Structure 1
Amino acid sequence: MSTINSVDSAMILAVVDSRDFRRLFIERLGWHNPDHPPLSFDLDSGGAYTFTQVAGYKGLRIWTCPVVPDRRTQRALDALLGQYSTERLVIFADDVRQEWRWPRKTQTGGINAKLMVHPHTRGVHNQSLVTRLAAITIDFDDDVSLVDLLDRMRDAFNAEAETASVQAARLMGRLYTELELSAVPSDAATLLLARLLFLAFADDSDMWVGQPELFKTHLQEHTTDATLHTDLVALFDVLSTDERSRDLPSGSPLTVFRYVNGGLFRDPLTLPRLTSGFRKALLDACTFDWSLISPAVFGSMFQTVKDKAARREGGEHYTTEENILKTIGPLFLDELHDRLDAAWDDRSQLTRLHNDLGRLRVMDPACGCGNFLIVAYRELRALELEVLKRRRQLDLAAGARTKQHLMQGVFEVQSDIKVRLDHFYGIEIDPWPARIAQTALLLVDHLANQQLAEEFGVAPDRLPIRISPAIHLRNALQIDWQTVVPASPDVVIVGNPPFSGDRLATPDQKEDLRRAWDRTTLKHLDYVTGWYAKALAYYGTTPGKWAFVSTNSVAQGEQVAELWGPILLAGWRVRFAHRSFEWLTESSGERAAVHVSIVGFDRARTPAPQLWTYAPGGKAPSQVTRVRHINPYLLDAPTVLVHTHEQPISDLPEVMMGNMPRSKSLVVTAAQYDEVAADPVAARYLRRYLGTEELLSGVERWCLWLVGVPQVEIAASPVLSERVEGSRAERLLSRAESTRKMASTPHLFAQRTQPAGPVLVIPGVSSERRHFLAVGHFDGDVVTSNLVFCAADPDSYGFGILSSSMFMDWMCGVGGRLKSDPRFSKTFNYNAFPLPKAGSGPRAEIVDAALAVQRTRAEFPDSPLESLYNPARMPAALLQMHGELDDAVDALFEVTDRSRIGRQRLLLSRYADMRGSIL
C-alpha cells in the first residue's frame, strides 16, 4: 500500500479543493480513464442532477456531481446510480463542501456509517481523506484485484477506527484514574463508566434525535465540580424514569432527556464527591467522537478496571475481532455471504435468505464483554442491509419503485428488519463484563440503524429501549442452557470460554467440570471442556452449529480421547478448524499470549471442512484448504483416538523418568567441581548429570552417585560426609512426609531409574522448529535427572527410532504441547507409538543409520545439540545421515507418502490396526 508524505498531502488536498477529480485519480492515484458517459436523473422534488465519471478501476467507477444536496437526496441519487454502476465512489462537491460516499458492498459491510459518508470542507486539512486516498493509490506496476482494492479501503477505515480506539482507551483510563482518587469502589466505577460511555456515544450518534451534544451541554451548563456526583445520580434517575412518571420541577434542565429504559440506568448508584479532575476529564471525553469506535473494543477499554490477578484466576481472555471472525466466518457467516452472492439476481431467494436471517439465534455461553455477540450482530445486520439494498435495486430495475418513492422513503425497511437484538444471548458469571456486553450491544444496534438510515433515510427509534439482548448473569456450567434459549437448528453457539488447565483449575472449577460432564472422575480434561460438555447436552439430537476458541490442548495429547469420544459418538463432525496459533488478547498492560485452536462443529455433510494451518510458532499467516475430513487432532487423517498405555505397544524399550535427587547437596555445579574432585574418595563417584539443559545446551553439571558405596567409605571423605549430612538436613526440613522419610538414606537419590549400560536420553520438550527430536545416547557413566526421560538402549535401536522423522511427526500430530512445542510423554506418544516389529535385517539397517548419525554428531564436538538441530544451522552431513536414517525407518513402516501428513495418516491407521478400534 502506498503512503503519502506531508508535501504530497498538501498537493493532493489542493487538487481535491479545486475539484479536478479526473487529475486526482488518473495522474495522482494511478486509476484508469472513464468508460461510461454522464448520467442524469430528474427527481420530482429536486430537479435534475448530472453525474460524470472521472476515473475507474476494474469495474469500480468514480462519479462526481457538481452540487451537494441533502443526505436524503444523496441516498436517492446513489440508489438510482447503482442501476448503472454497482461498484462506485460518489463525490458530491460544490465550491465549498464535499461529501464522499465510499463503496458499501459486503467487503466493508461492518464499517461505521460515519466512516462511509465522508465530509470535506475546502481549505480544511483532512488527514483521514489523505489516508484513504493513499490506501487506494495504484502504483504503475500494481495489478491489484477489485476485491483487494476494496480490502485496502476497509483496512484504511479500520485504521481510522483503531486510531480513535487508542484515543478512547486513554480517555477511559484517565477517567478511571480520577475515580480511584475519589475512592469510588470498582463495581460502582464500572457501572458509572458504562453509563457515561452510553451518554457520550448518544451525543455523537444522534441518539437524542435532533439534539446533538445534549449530555455535553448539560455537563457544561448544569453541573459543577462540587455537585457533579449528585448531578449525575439525578440524571441517571431521570433517564430510568418514563416521561409520564417523572416529578421534575418546572424549568428543570433534565426534562430534555429522553427515557432510555433497557436497565442500564435502573440500578441505584451512590457516589462520593468526585475530583475536579474527573469533571475536566469527562468534558474532554465528550469532545471526542465516540461514534467512530467499534463497540467490540469497549470491553478492552474496561479491562483497565479489573484486577489483573483476578483476571488470571478466572482464566479469562478477551478475543480480538480478527479471531472472532476466524470463528463466526466459517461457522455460519461465510455461508450466508455465499448465499447472498448466489441469490443476487433472484428476489425470491433473497427473501428466503432474509427470512433465515430472522430465524437465526446466537448464544455465547461465556460472553465476557460481549465481543462475539457484538461482532456477530454487527456482521449480520450488515448482511441484512445488503439484502435489503439488493431487493431495492431489483425493484427499481423492474419498475416497482419510482423516484418519488425513493424520496419519500416508502420502502418499509423499518418493519422489514429481522435481525434483532433479542435474538442474541449471553451467559456471564461476572457482573461488570456482563454490564459492558449489554451496553455495547445497544450501541452497535444504534450504529447498525445509522447505516440503515444512510441507505434508506429511515431507521427505528430505539428510545426508550424495548428490545435488548438477553445477558444472563450466571455460572454457565451450573445452569441449563435451554433456559436461556431453547435448542433448535437455528441456534448457533460461539465463544471463548475460560482457559484454566487441568492442573490450574480451582476446586470449584473442578466441581463445575464434573457436574458439566456428569462424571465423578475426570482424568485430563481442562476447564474449557466443560463448555463442550454443556453444548453436547444442550443440542442433544438437534442439529446445530457451535465453535469455541480453546487452548490448543483440546486437540492434543491425553485429553483428546476423553473429550472427543463423546463428541464423535453424538454424531458431530468438525466443520472447520484452526490448528494451533499464537493468540494475543486485547488485555491492558502485558498482552497475554496463548496458543489456541478454534474448532467448529456441525452434523451436516456439506460444505467440505476447512482447515487452517500455521507456520511454526503460530505467528505467520495461515493457509486454508478444503479437506475431506478433520480428525480430533485437527488433521486431514483418519478418525482415531490414541489412548495412554502403561507399557509400549511395540517392542521399544521401556522409558522411565530420570533420577530425582530431592537434595541439592548431591548435585555438583561447575563452580563446585574442582573442590569435590580434589577429594580422592568423592572423585571416584562423580558422574555427569544430564537434564534438559545439559543435554541440549551443553551445560556441564555433575552429581554424586553413591549407590552401593559403604558408609565407612563415605565417612572417610570430608566432602562426602559434609554433602550427605547436608542432604539429610534438607530432607528433614521438607514439608512432604515422603521426603522426610528419605532422610534415613541421605546418600541416595530419592528416585533411581538409571539403567545399566548405554542409555537413551530424551528431552521432555522439543522445539516445533526442529525437524528431529534431539535425543542423546551415552555410555553408562552418566546419570539422568528427573527433567529428562531415559531408557536402556544397548545397540542404539531406540535412538534410531526416536531420531527419525516418523517419530517427530507422530509427536507433532497427536502429542501434547508446551505452547506450540511438542512435549514428550512416556505413557502417550512413546508407549502408543505403533512401531512394527522389526526383523533382524531392518533392525540392523536402522541401527547402522543411527550409529552413523552419532558419528557425524561427534565431528562437531563444540556444537551442542540445540545448535546442531537448529534448522537454520544444521550441518549438511548430519542432515544427510538423518535422511538415511529416515529411509531405514520408513522402509520398516512401508511408507508410500513421506510428507508429514502422509506419515501421520499411516501412523494413525497402524495404531487403529494394533489396538483394534478407532474410538
Structure 2
Amino acid sequence: MDVAKTLSMNEIRSRAARFARDWKDEPGDERQQAQSFVRDLLGVYGITEPRAAFYEKRVKRSSTGARGYIDALIPGLALIEMKSAGKDLAAAEQQALDYIDDLPDPEVPRWVITSDFRRFRLLDLHSETGTAPTEFETSELREQADKLAFLAGYGERTFGSKAQEAASIKAAKLMASLYEALEGSGYDDHEASVFLVRTLFALYADDAGLWDRDLFLEFLETRTAEDGSDLGPELSLLYQVMGREPGRRQSNLDELIARFPYVNGGVFEEPLSIPSFDAGMRKRLTDAAMFNWSAISPAIFGSLFQAVKDKTARRELGEHYTTETNIMKVIGPMFLDELRQRFTDGYHDTAKLKKLRADMGRMRFLDPACGCGNFLVVGYRQMRALDLEVLLRIQELSGETARTMFFTEEHLAVKLSSFHGIELEEWPAQIAATALHLVEHQANQAMELALGAAPDSLPLDKIKSIVVGNALRVDWAEVVEPSADLYVMGNPPFIGHKTKATAQRDDLRVVWGAQFDGYLDYVTGWFKKAADFLGDRGGHFAFVSTNSIVQGQPVPALFRPLISAGWRVAFAHRTFAWTSEAPSAAAVHCVVTGFDRITKGRPAVLFDYDEPRGEPHRVPVTEQINGYLHDAPNVYVDTREKPLADLPVASFGTMPADGGNLLLDEDAHAIAIADPIAAKYVRPFLGAKELVQGKSRWCLWLEDLDPSDLRHSAFLRERVEGCREWRSAQTPTGDAYKLRLTPHLFRPNSKRPTSNYVCVPRHVSEARTFFPVAYLEPESISGDANFTIADPEGLAFAALSSSAFLAWQKAVGGRIKSDLRYSSTLTWNTFPLPTLSDEQRAAIIAGGQAVLDARALHPERSLADHYNPLAMAPDLLRAHRQLDAAIDKTLGLRGTATEDSRLRALFTNYQQLITAGELAMPAKPIRQRRARAAS
C-alpha cells in the first residue's frame, strides 16, 4: 500500500525545471491562464489535492471595501496573486496585502507570492528585519526552488524568532480550546492528554510535509459530519490506522484514510475510549487544522502545550514558556560555542571537520528536570544545524555531491537517541517526546533542503530516553551512562529553602546526606546529584536557578562541597530576569552556573547584565569564578557574631511594640507639641520609609518620664494607657504582653546607641550607586526596621558609605528579588577592612565627613533624593570619590578601581584574615549552629 511522503528537493528541482519549460512560451494571460499556472506551480511542490488550496476566494479589500478575489490561498501559509505578463508585481503585492485584512486569523498567510508568469516576487510577512521581497525569473525556478520549498512543508531555517513565538502562542491557544472542550464533556483526563498529543501530531504533519498537505483537513471536512456526531469514531479509526504498519491494515479501508502513513513511535499505540464531539468541538478542530502548524517552534510550543491543562495558565498563554534566548544562555557556553569555534578553526581542513563530527557523535545529553523538553529540543536542533553546516563544508572541500552524501539515521553524527530526560509527570514527558519528533523532522527537512537527501522521518522511532520519575530519587545511570562526553543541563524547579514541602526536604536529605543544610534551595539537589553521578569521570553540568544560590548563607553550603570535590565553575551568567516577552509576565531573578573539571585550555567564561532584563556582556576572568560569581579566590563567607575587622557592632533598632500608641503621626505630633508637658518627650522616629524617603514621624520617648508629668498631661496619660491596654490584650506568651507593666517604654534594647550612630536600612534598591545610610544623634530614635551602629568618630559611617562596602554587600549579601538585603552577621561582620594605621583611619573618617558635608548643602533632600542614580549632586559624587580613594588605598588599589577589582581585593583580604590567623579563631558560624539544630 502506498503512503504519502514528502517530495525530496531533487524531485522538486526536477519538477521545477519541467514547469519552467512548459510555461516558457505561454502568453501569460491573467484571465485565461492564472489558475492553470498556479495549479502547476503547486504541483511542483506536491500540492495536488483540490482542498489543499482555495482558488478564487472572495474577499473584501480593506482600503476600498470593494469585493475581490484571491487567486489562490493556502490557509495559514501562502497567498498567490497573479497578473498578466509585464504587469507591476509591487502593485499586485499591495493588492494581496489589502485582501489579507479580511481573512480570519487561522487563514492569514505568512508568505505572499505574486507573479506575472515571467517573474516571481516573494514577501515574508514574518520578517523581523524589514527584509525586501525576493524576485527571480520563472526560468530560474529550478535554481531558486528552495525559496518556495515551504510549499512542500519544508520548515524555516531560522529559529527562535518573534514570528515563531507568536505562531506558537496562537497554536497553543487552539489546543487549549480543544482541551477545554474535551474536559467540559467529561472525557477522561489521561485519555484527553493522549488524544491531544495525537491530534497535535496530525495537525503538524498536515503542514510540515509528513504527508500530503491538508490531508488531515480533507479528512475532517469530507469524512465527518458537521454536527460532530461521528467525529470521535472516525478519528479513533484514523489514529488506529496510523499506528498500524501498512501490511497489517485492512484491505477495504476508506481510500482517504489509507493514504495516511504509518507513524509508530508510541504516539498511536495506546488504545483509547472513543470521545464524543458536538458541532462546536468539530469547529474548534477544523479551525486548528486551518492554522499553519509548520511555523511553530517545538521548544516554545511544548512549554505552552504543557500549560493548557491549568486554567490560570490557559488564560495567560504566552507567559508560560521559556524563551530560546534563555536556553541558549546554558547550551551556548556549555558546549555549542566551543563546537562552533572548532568549525571556524577547521573550516579549510577536511580532517578537522570530520574529527569534529566524530566528537559530536560521542556527545550525550541529559536534562534531569526536562518538563516539556525545551532544553533537549533546542540542544538537538542546534547540534543538527551545526552538523549540517559541517557536512556542507566537507562537501565543498571534497567535491562530494548530494548523491554520494545520502544519509540514513545510522549515518548521522547527532542522533535523537543521544538526548535523555527525566520528568516527574507523565503529561509533560509525553509532550517532550512529541516535541523531539517534531524538531527531528524539521532538522531532516533542513538537511533535505541543503543536501537533497536526509533520513526518512516516518515511521517514528519510539523515544525511550524520556523517563517519568522523581529525578532526585531516580538512578540517573539507568537513564544514561555517565561519561566525560555527557552534558547534564536544565531548569529544575524554583523552590526556595523556606517554601520546600516536607517531601522535598526529604529529597534533599537523601541527595546531600551528611552535608545537608537547611538553607539549601531545592534546585541544589540537582547540582549535588549531577556532581556525584559524574564523579571523577569528568563531564559537564549546568543549571538555571534563582539567584539565591549565589547569595548569602547558601553559597558555602552549595559551592564548598562541589569545588572541594574537584569541580570548577566553568561559566556563569550573573542575575538576569528569566521571563517571557509577555508584558504582564512576572520575572524570576535567575543565574546560570555551569561546572566541569577542565582547567587547562578552557578559560572560565562569565556574563554580566547592566540590568536584569538587559543583554549579557562578557566579563574578563583572570583567576576563576567563585561561588559568588566573581573573578576572585574561592572563599566562603559564613555568618559571624562579631565583626571580622576593627569595626563597631551593628544591632537592630528599637521596637515600639505599642499598638501605635507611642508613635505619632502628623496630627498626633501637633497635639503633643501644643502640650508643654508632652512636648518634652517628643523625639524623631525613623522607620524604613522615614530613613530613606525623608518622611516625618515622631514618638514619645519616656525613658526619663517624671510620674507627675503623666498625671498633669491628659495626652500622655491617654497614650500610655492605650499602650497598656493593647499589650494586655496580646498573647500571654508573647513579648508585648510581658511589657504590659511598663507601657510607657519601648521594648528594652540594651544596644541602643547613646552617642552619634549610623542608621542602616535593611533593604536597598540595587540601582543605588552607594549604600544610603544616615548619621544621627542619639535623640533620633531608630525603629527595628533599621540597624544601628554606635559610631562617635564616624568610621562605620565612612565604611558603609564606600563603594567597597556596596560591592561586598552585592556580592555576598542576600536579596529580595534584586534588592539588596543588609545583614549584620553576613555583610557587616564579614566586611574585610584591613587593619588600619592611624593615618589611614583619619583619611577614611575625613572622607565620610566630606560626604556628610556635601549632603548638608541640600538639607531638604532625602537619602533617596541624594542617591538617585540619575541625579546625584556633583559635590556629593566628589566626596564619595575622596572616601573611595581612602578605602581603596587600604585594599592595595591604585588609580580608578572597579567593582570587580575591589571585590578581588576584598575576597583576597577576607581569605588572608581568616587563614593567616589575624584572629586566633574565627567566630563560629551562626549558620552551622542553626543547621545542626534544624536537623
Give the TM-score of the pair, scaled to structure 2: 0.78
* Cα distance change, pair 559–131 in 1 and its aligned pair in 2 (3 A): closer
> Within 5 Å, which residues of 2 pair with 1:820-899?
820-896=818-894, 898-899=897-898
Distance in 1 between residues matched to 2:259 and 2:816, nearest whole Å: 59
Distance in 1 between residues matched to 2:360 and 2:739, nearest whole Å: 71
Partner of 2:287: 284
Distance in 2 between residues matched to 1:264 and 1:737, nearest whole Å: 62
* Cα distance change, pair 874–420 in 1 and its aligned pair in 2 (3 A): same
Partner of 1:702: 698
Partner of 2:738: 742
* Cα distance change, pair 679–335 in 1 and its aligned pair in 2 (3 A): same
Partner of 2:902: 903
SS of the counterpart of 2:421? strand
Deviations 1:541-577 (Å, cap 9, x if unpaired)?
1111111111122222221111110111111122211
**8 Å CA contact 2:489, 2:543 repeated in 1:** yes
> Within 5 Å, which residues of 2 pair with 1:201-216?
201-208=204-211, 211-216=212-217
Partner of 1:122: 115
Structure 1 residue 786 and structure 2 residue 784: aligned? yes
Partner of 2:377: 374
**8 Å CA contact 1:758, 1:780 repeated in 2:** yes
**8 Å CA contact 2:169, 2:301 repeated in 1:** no
SS of the counterpart of 1:518? helix
Partner of 2:219: 218
SS of the counterpart of 1:135? coil
- Higher alpha-carbon deviation: 577-586 or 603-612: 577-586
**8 Å CA contact 1:68, 1:94 repeated in 2:** no
Partner of 1:806: 804
Of 606, 609, 629, the residue aligned with 1:611 is: 606
SS of the counterpart of 2:570? strand
Partner of 2:443: 448
Deviation, 1:308, is 7.4
Distance in 1 between residues matched to 2:916 and 2:112, nearest whole Å: 67
Structure 1 residue 319 and structure 2 residue 322: aligned? yes
* Cα distance change, pair 520–392 in 1 and its aligned pair in 2 (3 A): closer
Deviation, 1:685, is 3.1
> 5+ residue gaps in structure 2?
1-12, 22-39, 47-81, 87-109, 135-155, 923-935
* Cα distance change, pair 905–131 in 1 and its aligned pair in 2 (3 A): closer
Deviations 1:567-611 (Å, cap 9, x if unpaired)?
11111122211111222136x783120221112111112222222
SS of the counterpart of 2:480? coil
Give the TM-score of the pair, scaled to structure 1: 0.79
Partner of 1:481: 476
**8 Å CA contact 1:658, 1:789 repeated in 2:** yes
- Higher alpha-carbon deviation: 453-462 or 263-272: 263-272
Matched to 2:763, the amino acid is V
Distance in 2 between residues matched to 1:751 and 1:893, nearest whole Å: 39
Structure 1 residue 597 and structure 2 residue 595: aligned? no
Structure 1 residue 506 and structure 2 residue 505: aligned? no
* Cα distance change, pair 527–715 in 1 and its aligned pair in 2 (3 A): farther
- Higher alpha-carbon deviation: 181-190 or 909-918: 181-190
**8 Å CA contact 2:363, 2:418 repeated in 1:** yes
Distance in 2 between residues matched to 1:289 and 1:906, nearest whole Å: 58
Deviation, 1:371, is 0.9
SS of the counterpart of 1:880? helix
Structure 1 residue 672 and structure 2 residue 673: aligned? no
Deviation, 1:288, is 1.5
Of 301, 306, 328, the residue aligned with 2:304 is: 301
Partner of 2:615: 621
* Cα distance change, pair 887–342 in 1 and its aligned pair in 2 (3 A): closer
Structure 1 residue 564 and structure 2 residue 562: aligned? no
* Cα distance change, pair 155–389 in 1 and its aligned pair in 2 (3 A): closer
- Higher alpha-carbon deviation: 749-758 or 265-274: 265-274
**8 Å CA contact 2:573, 2:593 repeated in 1:** yes
**8 Å CA contact 1:184, 1:271 repeated in 2:** no
**8 Å CA contact 2:306, 2:427 repeated in 1:** no
> 5+ residue gaps in structure 1?
1-41, 51-66, 74-92, 98-116, 139-152
> Within 5 Å, which residues of 2 pair with 1:461-610?
461-468=456-463, 470-519=465-514, 521-585=516-580, 590-604=584-598, 605-610=600-605
Distance in 2 between residues matched to 1:213 and 1:763, nearest whole Å: 64
Distance in 1 between residues matched to 2:459 and 2:198, nearest whole Å: 15
**8 Å CA contact 2:570, 2:595 repeated in 1:** yes
**8 Å CA contact 1:690, 1:783 repeated in 2:** yes
Matched to 1:493, the amino acid is V
* Cα distance change, pair 727–639 in 1 and its aligned pair in 2 (3 A): same
* Cα distance change, pair 374–821 in 1 and its aligned pair in 2 (3 A): same
Deviation, 1:521, is 4.8
Structure 1 residue 198 and structure 2 residue 201: aligned? yes
Matched to 1:893, the amino acid is L
**8 Å CA contact 2:300, 2:322 repeated in 1:** no
**8 Å CA contact 1:644, 1:827 repeated in 2:** yes
> Within 5 Å, which residues of 2 pair with 1:753-764?
753-764=751-762
Distance in 1 between residues matched to 2:313 and 2:875, nearest whole Å: 53
Distance in 1 between residues matched to 2:122 and 2:456, nearest whole Å: 32
Deviations 1:267-316 (Å, cap 9, x if unpaired)?
454576445322112111111111121101113422542437899xxxx9
**8 Å CA contact 1:693, 1:699 repeated in 2:** yes
Partner of 1:64: none
Distance in 2 between residues matched to 1:885 and 1:421, nearest whole Å: 59
Deviation, 1:642, is 1.7
* Cα distance change, pair 502–271 in 1 and its aligned pair in 2 (3 A): farther
Deviations 1:376-420 (Å, cap 9, x if unpaired)?
000111112122222222332xxx65xxxx4x5673455411312
- Higher alpha-carbon deviation: 192-201 or 123-132: 123-132
Distance in 1 between residues matched to 2:542 and 2:235, nearest whole Å: 42
**8 Å CA contact 1:190, 1:305 repeated in 2:** no
SS of the counterpart of 1:449? helix
**8 Å CA contact 2:755, 2:777 repeated in 1:** yes
Deviation, 1:127, is 3.7
Matched to 1:895, the amino acid is L
Matched to 2:221, the amino acid is Q
**8 Å CA contact 1:653, 1:793 repeated in 2:** yes
Matched to 2:559, the amino acid is W
Distance in 2 between residues matched to 1:749 and 1:190, nearest whole Å: 61
Deviation, 1:204, is 1.1
**8 Å CA contact 2:264, 2:462 repeated in 1:** no
Distance in 2 between residues matched to 1:385 and 1:240, nearest whole Å: 31
Matched to 1:388, the amino acid is L
Structure 1 residue 158 and structure 2 residue 161: aligned? yes
Deviation, 1:476, is 1.2
Deviation, 1:903, is 1.4
Matched to 1:556, the amino acid is Q
Deviations 1:231-287 (Å, cap 9, x if unpaired)?
434444444445555679754864443443323334454576445322112111111
**What RMSD over aligned residues (CA atoms) do the two structures have, in Å?**
3.7
Partner of 1:642: 637
- Higher alpha-carbon deviation: 194-203 or 743-752: 743-752
**8 Å CA contact 2:112, 2:123 repeated in 1:** no
Partner of 2:93: none
Provide the identity percentage: 40
**8 Å CA contact 1:687, 1:703 repeated in 2:** yes
Partner of 1:90: none
**8 Å CA contact 2:169, 2:304 repeated in 1:** no
**8 Å CA contact 2:659, 2:727 repeated in 1:** no
Distance in 2 between residues matched to 1:96 and 1:158, nearest whole Å: 36
Deviation, 1:475, is 1.4
Matched to 2:115, the amino acid is R
Deviation, 1:725, is 4.7
Partner of 1:261: 264
Deviation, 1:799, is 0.6
**8 Å CA contact 2:187, 2:275 repeated in 1:** yes
Deviation, 1:749, is 3.4
Distance in 1 between residues matched to 2:672 and 2:297, nearest whole Å: 66
Distance in 2 between residues matched to 1:595 and 1:697, nearest whole Å: 26
Of 681, 687, 700, the residue aligned with 1:685 is: 681
**8 Å CA contact 2:111, 2:124 repeated in 1:** no
Partner of 1:103: none
- Higher alpha-carbon deviation: 834-843 or 164-173: 164-173
* Cα distance change, pair 834–390 in 1 and its aligned pair in 2 (3 A): same
